[in-house]
Amino acid sequence: MASSTHRWRKLALAAFLLAYFVYFTYDGLHVHFAIDGIGNMAHYYRGGPLSLAISQFTLWRGDYRPIGGLFYLSILQFAGLNPLPFQAALLLILLANVYLVYRFARLLGSGELVAALAALAACYHAGLHNLYYNAACVYDVLCCFFYLAAFLYYLRIRQSGRMPAVRQIAVFLALFLCALNSKEMAVTLPLMLMVYEWIYHRPARPDGAACLTWLRGPARVALFAAALTALDVYGKLFAPDALANAEGYHPVFVLRRVRDFERLSLGDLLFGWSTGWGGILLLWALLAYVAYRRDRPILRFLWWFMVLTPLPIEFLIGRGQACLYIPLIGWAIFGAVMVVDLAGALAGVLEREPFGRRLGRSGIVALLVAAAIFFWARQNRQYKQTYAKPAMLSLGHESWDVIQQFRAVNPHVRPGSKVAFLDDPFHSWDMLFVAELWFRDRTLDIHVERHGPLTDQELAREDYIFTFDNGKLVQLK
């Protein structure tokens, strides 16, 4: 009987989380491609499938997030430039991550209620709203998926009382490789493994010999993962096309960057909360006090998780919203522990009141948790209406209009042709990206007039010439 009740409770929780997730995210199915998404897709398409496959295993070359290429090109193959399948796939991975957050909390030692609240927080956070409607954020979604999958795989082995065998280490490293190939946020995983092992399985006597034994045993997998991380960091910093060479990805190690990041990230995570150094330091000190005032390994681990997982973006400019997806997991579980603890403490006081005696301690806890869920959902809804909705409605209209024109005209060109676009609505390389992805023929030589006019002789040698007249695609030759 107890087993049947537990199963029905799990099914009810799953149904509730699914309904909550769908309520907040379903309208993301109707958005258009962001310009970044089209550019990313074109980047992978140009390289071709063989290059994309090889790049999954050559971290030292610094190839740009190749797991994202598998996402884009596999869907492009059957869906073309239809954003709906891309958005649907994005939301399915986000939904899978909700389950992984639940399991992560449970394996860290939380109760079911804490894990359920953490999963609810991971369903939708309006402060990270572009995560749910912009397929260009798929790197963050995939990175979180493989990050948690690798961590969960490792935790299940360790909590069975065993050390990972060779085959299990290989599986873990494969999952970690996928996380690294999804986004740079994954580089903190070896560090978090070390934190986990030190908090949950530290040496009984922290002397030199015991610590060396610990490094060779419980910390061994983290050291293997650190070797992969070193290859990935080398590629991002020193490869010919290193990501760190781009202005937006070049870290500057000054305190001002830390302050700016903390203000931006806390504003996103805490719904617009803003403060200076004093407030930032006070908040982290309070969180540290909560984490260390009692012997609660889960809170200590989560405090370090919140501190360390943002490091890859902490010294960059303007990183917020979707970039905070992995740190959000730590905040979600930490916050869920706090909500349940506070509900329990308040219930201990209120159960002595007349109405409290009728409800009982468990009834009061349920009422307080339900109130917290209501206020959390209302805050998300208000924030979504104010910030997310306008951004969703304005996303990608220019690119979508061009794609619609291609659909209306449905131009076809012969393989190996020279194709020119004399005019287009864009102001950058975007017309070239759309044309390449529409025709999907690597033998074509496509020229966009905006990036250099053609002479009359060169135009005469073009096989096909297109232009846009009052927003309409017109074939001139």
- Order of all β-strands in the sheet with 418-421: 445-448, 418-421, 464-469, 472-475
Element (H, E) at 418: strand 418-421
**Are 177 and 228 in contact, with CB atoms under 8 Å apart?**
yes
User: What's the confidence (pLDDT) of residue 270?
Assistant: 93
User: What's the confidence (pLDDT) of residue 378?
Assistant: 96
User: At residue 166, what is the residue type?
Assistant: V
Q: Of 289, 260, 285, 255, nearest to 275 (Cα)?
A: 260
**Are 322 and 134 in contact, with CB atoms under 8 Å apart?**
yes
- Look up the pTM and report it: 0.94
> Cα-Cα-Cα-Cα dihedral of 169, 173, 175, 178, to 10°?
-170
**Are 325 and 346 in contact, with CB atoms under 8 Å apart?**
no
Which residues partner with 445 through β-bridges? 418
Reply yes or no on whether the pLDDT at 218 is more than 80: no
Q: Residue range 209-218: average pLDDT?
A: 74
More confident residue, 275 or 215: 275
| Exposure b/e, 390-406, CB count within 10 A at least 16 = b | eebeebbeebeebbebb
- pLDDT tens for residues 153-200? 999 999 988 889 999 999 999 999 999 999 999 999 999 999 999 999
CA distance 214 to 206: 9
User: What's the confidence (pLDDT) of residue 334?
Assistant: 97
Reply yes or no on whether the pLDDT at 214 is more than 90: no
pLDDT confidence tier of residue 137, bands split at 50, 70 and 90: very high
| Exposure b/e, 218-239, CB count within 10 A at least 16 = b | bbbbbebbbebbebbbebbeeb
User: What's the confidence (pLDDT) of residue 2?
Assistant: 59
Q: Where are the alpha helices (DSSP H) in 124-137?
A: 130-133
Give the count of beta carbons closer than 10 Å to the beta carbon of residue 20. Answer: 18
User: What's the confidence (pLDDT) of residue 210?
Assistant: 67
**Region label for 318, one of left (φ > 0), alpha (ψ between -120 and 50) or beta (otherwise):** left
- pLDDT tens for residues 275-292? 889 999 999 999 999 999
More confident residue, 102 or 6: 102
Burial of residue 435, with CB atoms counted within 10 A of its CB: 0-12 exposed, 13-18 middle, 19 or more buried: buried
Name 325's Cβ contacts closer than 8 Å, sequence gap at least 6. 128, 131, 140, 141, 143, 144, 185
Reply yes or no on whether the pLDDT at 227 is more than 90: yes
User: What's the confidence (pLDDT) of residue 399?
Assistant: 87
- pLDDT tens for residues 110-123? 999 999 999 999 99
- pLDDT tens for residues 341-377? 999 888 888 777 777 677 788 888 889 999 999 999 9
Name 442's Cβ contacts closer than 8 Å, sequence gap at least 6. 46, 48
More confident residue, 121 or 456: 121
Q: Of 39, 72, 50, nearest to 435 (Cα)?
A: 39
- pLDDT tens for residues 241-265? 888 888 888 888 899 999 999 999 9
User: At residue 96, what is the residue type?
Assistant: A
User: What's the confidence (pLDDT) of residue 425?
Assistant: 84
CA distance 179 to 228: 11
pLDDT confidence tier of residue 1, bands split at 50, 70 and 90: low
Say what percent of the chain tops pLDDT 90.
66
Q: Residue range 82-105: average pLDDT?
A: 96
Cα–chain center distance at 232: 18
CA distance 193 to 223: 9
Q: Residue range 101-129: average pLDDT?
A: 96
Q: Where are the alpha helices (DSSP H) in 181-311?
A: 189-201, 208-216, 220-238, 255-269, 277-292, 297-308
- pLDDT tens for residues 23-79? 999 999 999 988 888 989 999 999 889 999 999 999 999 999 999 999 999 999 999
- pLDDT tens for residues 378-429? 999 999 999 999 989 888 888 888 999 999 889 989 999 999 998 888 877 7
User: At residue 93, what is the residue type?
Assistant: I
